[in-house]
Amino acid sequence: MAMSVNVSSSSSSGIINSRFGVSLEPKVSQIGSLRLLDRVHVAPVSLNLSGKRSSSVKPLNAEPKTKDSMIPLAATMVAEIAEEVEVVEIEDFEELAKKLENASPLEIMDKALGKYGNDIAIAFSGAEDVALIEYAHLTGRPFRVFSLDTGRLNPETYRFFDAVEKHYGIRIEYMFPDSVEVQGLVRSKGLFSFYEDGHQECCRVRKVRPLRRALKGLKAWITGQRKDQSPGTRSEIPVVQVDPVFEGLDGGVGSLVKWNPVANVEGNDVWNFLRTMDVPVNTLHAAGYISIGCEPCTKAVLPGQHEREGRWWWEDAKAKECGLHKGNVKENSDDAKVNGESKSAVADIFKSENLVTLSRQGIENLMKLENRKEPWIVVLYAPWCPFCQAMEASYDELADKLAGSGIKVAKFRADGDQKEFAKQELQLGSFPTILVFPKNSSRPIKYPSEKRDVESLTSFLNLVR
């Protein structure tokens, strides 16, 4: 009795009988619990088991005259299958990013979805990156969406997820943190340890590791990163890149591609697009929230503040990444670059003639004075910090307003070599930190508000003078 066996394989891998050392198991892609077989194709190979001689393949039950007679058989089968395997060229994504630099988000999205099909997914955070889903919808191509449910999101965000699913007729693929890891963190350090020792550990458990599991089932992912979101960490992101941190389906360095379709789009333009298309948005936006994450680590921002100031507000501006886009943070030294320029080369700020520039020795002397002749207000700053830059005009105006009033207005550059000193001795938490040194007190008082306009600063001075 003759039996025919059809063997299939993808263009990027051959399938050979296990006796020749290559696995017959097909590759699979997965995200969460969803597993999808790659479509594969190789011309059928017929194995005649009837005992009759075939013109192309010897019968498997034929007795070879010598052991050497099996070698041509193996070589023939390998050669036949190898002829069907197409050599895959490694794509130059830096060159592709240059070609797409001036492309529209819709064009970039279409390129990404068309290239990867079911092996790519949109990362949806529950904020304005709903624009990504709308762009994907407009391409007319099928698309997948996943989100990280940390267990600490705002109720409004969960309702937003539901509204998005219903609006687009999709199911978001949720990824959850490992319950044992969360339990260990909370039991050992409490629910709000990140306020004391930084957000990185909590984000690693609740966001980074679940994301890593999700991305291991993909060949590419799509994010809502924009260059104007965080000048300190995102100003140089390309529209497409090899992911510098995470691994994809095939494993190893370079196995995952990251697409950022709105990298070159400004925040206002994203919102104009959302309003025009009349898509669901998170109701937290109407309450002053711009960048939205977990409830304990997100708050509304004030007019004039940068959107990322609402995230992890107790930390430095350059640390405002949770780990999902860790590759954006390039360096942690004094020579690190901001917007392509060395920090040491960034122009200084706060230039009013009525401002006193304090050196390390100067501020140490100020701290030692228990009976000052006049009160001082001092800003601890870093000129490359976008939040310090945002308050430059109001602080210069304050200095001019208080000139000759008996109140000294000063600045102290507290980054680089002075940072540890400022943290230990001057209550530096993040840039900018504003201190008031009253006349009859040895210890400075830290300005507690993020309202850095002239009126608010003046009111605080009057309260503590």
Q: Where are the alpha helices (DSSP H) in 391-451?
A: 392-401, 419-425
DSSP three-state, residue 390:
helix
Whether residue 72 is preceded by a cis peptide bond, meaning omega within 30 degrees of 0, is no
Instruction: Single out the residue of 96, 106, 149, 103 nearest to residue 257, CA to CA.
Output: 96
Give the burial class of 135: count Cβ atoms within 10 A of its Cβ; 0-12 exposed, 13-18 middle, 19 or more buried: buried
Distance of alpha carbon 70 from alpha carbon 64, whole angstroms: 7
- What is the widest separation between alpha-carbon atoms in the chain? 111
DSSP three-state, residue 122:
strand
> What's the helix, strand, coil split of the chain in %, to 5?
40, 10, 50
Q: Is 204 left (phi over 0), alpha (psi -120 to 50) or beta?
A: alpha
Distance of alpha carbon 318 from alpha carbon 338, whole angstroms: 10
146: Cβ contacts below 8 Å, ≥ 6 apart: 31, 32, 121, 122, 123, 124, 172, 173, 174, 175, 214
Give the burial class of 436: count Cβ atoms within 10 A of its Cβ; 0-12 exposed, 13-18 middle, 19 or more buried: buried
Terminal Cα-to-Cα distance of the chain (whole angstroms) = 103
Catalytic residues: 385, 388
Look at the block and give the residue holding tokens 């070879």. 64
Query: Are the C-beta atoms of 461 and 436 separated by less than 8 Å?
Result: yes
Distance of alpha carbon 157 from alpha carbon 75, whole angstroms: 59
Phi–psi pair at 134, nearest 5 degrees = -65, -40
Distance of alpha carbon 362 from alpha carbon 425, whole angstroms: 14
